[in-house]
Amino acid sequence: MIYSKASLLKFHDYKQRVRQAVEMCGGLKHLRTSDRVLIKPNLVMWDSVYPFPKYGVITTSLLVEEMVKLLSDYGCSDITLGEATIKDQDLGSSTKAAFAGLGYHSLQKKYGLKLVDFDDEPFVETDFGEFSLNIARQAFETDFLINLPVLKTHSQTKVSLGLKNLKGCLDLKSKIRCHNREIPLEHFIARLGETISPRLTVIDGIYALERGPIFNGKAYRSDLLIASGDTYAADWVGCRALGLEPSEVPYLADFAAARDLPLDGSTIQVVGEALDHVSTNLEWDWEWNKENSAPEVFDRLGIRGIYYPKYDQTLCSGCSHMNNLMLILLLGAYREKPFSGVEYLGGKATLSQGGYEKTFLFGNCAVGLNKNNPAIQEAVKIKGCPPAAAEIVRVLNEHGLPASLDMYAAYREAHAARYKEKSEFNEAHFTIQE
């Protein structure tokens, strides 16, 4: 028996494909022109300082504009776009900066689109029984929620698609709570998907990101659009398009079990392209060495004398982003001789077992967890939620590690350069024409 329909189309720079994808899955059949519509893109981060390749990281402005056009043509006049982007003063990352940088203010002028930073609005404390989360009031007050995630794999949850994108409706305290020692991150996502119910999900697969969710992953031009009135169906197709079996994705399996849905796709009708013809195989995990003492790249470069265990699910989005900066700074601080016996701990779960001259505690959670830990010889606290870049640099230098943001700037330049002069990567997809 078929319960849901999902459309799968190649984009090929034909903007009308967005309309076709929505129509083929019957995505607006329950929409009334009088409905209050809320669009939720994926704007996980912004960067106003360093080169910022957005491909596969955030929803294209092209998809947002085409969706607003479609709604306007349909007769809808009450359309809001809402998001809560990572805040980082060092990078100039904020929701409002993302709105401005992506050209959304032009959509305000053209279509009367309302822009809402969820962090400026009230949140509703929502009881899930085993925990509670604060959810943006806008998500409950809308009549028709449209979810616009990106097609990406994710270093903690394997994929980040429609259900995962709903985490952006939480306040900061609740986002941090989802990275929990006792309850898996995937379970929070699955339960959130049972409470917030998008009426339409369109996965932006114009670009796909390997090892997301942020810019340090590798983007590919995949030219796919996936649409469904059922978020589970859209995510099921998205998983397959990324080369993963839905049964291998814990939050999707959790969600399916709660709703007694089969994971084999037997209740989903896919129309348009054949999945087998468009699917690829993207990696989701970053490799650490067998001892879990450092990333594999450290071993390849011969870096010794450091214990840097792999991040776990308790490392929240803010610290996860700065964790990348920390690794790059340590690579730059290496001077072809072993570090002098140091360890770096982050997240909410890793306790130092001792045996190191210095233990760097990254972020307030690691500092609090290891407070008064007798195994630690010298605790070096890098405070913050997350720590600021300048604070990380200051502490490293204070303790004999020559760190400089120039190294990070060079890394960001080199990372962005991989997309330059490649015609398939089009920055215009992230702008709105006046």
Share of the chain above pLDDT 90, in %: 94
Pair 119, 64 in one domain: yes
Residue 410 counted as domain residue: no
Q: Which sign, positive or negative, has the C-alpha torsion 167, 173, 176, 181? A: negative
Angle (CA) 376 380 384, round 5°: 125
Is 289 among the domain residues? no
* pLDDT tens, position by position, 110-121: 999 999 999 999
Tokens of 284: 């989701």
Tell me: do 145 and 184 sit in the same domain: yes
Query: Cα–Cα distance between 15 and 313 in angstroms, integer?
Result: 37
CA distances from 335 to 21, 316, 329, 403 (A): 54, 31, 12, 11
Range of 223's domain? 4-284+420-430
Residues 76 and 212 in one domain: yes
Residues 116 and 236 both lie in one domain: yes
Is 227 in contact with 200 (CB distance < 8 Å)?
yes
194 lies in some domain: yes
From 210, 279, 194, 221, select the one nearest 8 (Cα to Cα): 279
The reply to whether 353 and 241 lie within a common domain is no
Whether 99 and 144 share a structural domain = yes
Distance CA 382, CA 330 (A): 14
Query: What's the confidence (pLDDT) of residue 89?
Result: 87
Does residue 413 sit within a domain? no
Identify the helix (H) or strand (E) that includes residue 150. Answer: strand 150-154
Q: 180 vs 127, 185, 212, 422, CA distance in Å?
A: 17, 7, 20, 41
Q: What pLDDT, on a 0 to 100 scale, did the predictor assign at position 336? A: 75
Determine the pLDDT at residue 238. Answer: 98
The model's pLDDT over 284-295, given as tens digits with 9 standing for 90+, comes to: 999 999 999 999
Average pLDDT (78-104) is 95
Whether 85 maps to a domain, the answer reads: yes
- 248 shares its domain with 347: no
| Residue 338 pLDDT | 77
Confidence grade of residue 277 (pLDDT, cut at 50, 70, 90): very high
Please write the tens of the pLDDT for every residue from 390-434. 999 999 999 999 999 999 999 999 999 999 999 999 999 999 987
Residues 279 and 301 reside in one and the same domain: no
How buried is 304 (Cβ within 10 angstroms: 0-12 exposed, 13-18 middle, 19+ buried)? middle
Contacts of 103 (CB under 8 A, 6+ apart): 61, 430, 431, 432, 433
Q: Is residue 161 part of a domain?
A: yes
pLDDT at 340: 85
Question: Does 207 score more than 90 pLDDT?
Answer: yes
DSSP state of 347: S
The CATH code of the domain that includes 47 is 3.40.50.11440
Regarding whether 386 and 248 lie in a shared domain, the answer is no
Q: Indicate whether 122 and 172 sit together in one domain.
A: yes
User: What are 163-172's pLDDT values in tens digits?
Assistant: 999 999 999 9
Q: Return the structure tokens found at 1.
A: 């028996």
Does any domain span residue 255? Answer: yes
Would the pLDDT of 335 be above 90?
no
Taking only the tens place, the pLDDT of each residue in 44-68 is 999 999 999 999 999 999 999 999 9
Three-class HEC string of 32-53: CCCCCEEEEECCCCCCCCCCCC
> How many domains does the chain divide into?
2
Q: Looking at residue 334, what is its pLDDT?
A: 87
Distance, C-alpha 224 to centroid of its chain: 18
Q: Are residues 388 and 263 in the same domain?
A: no
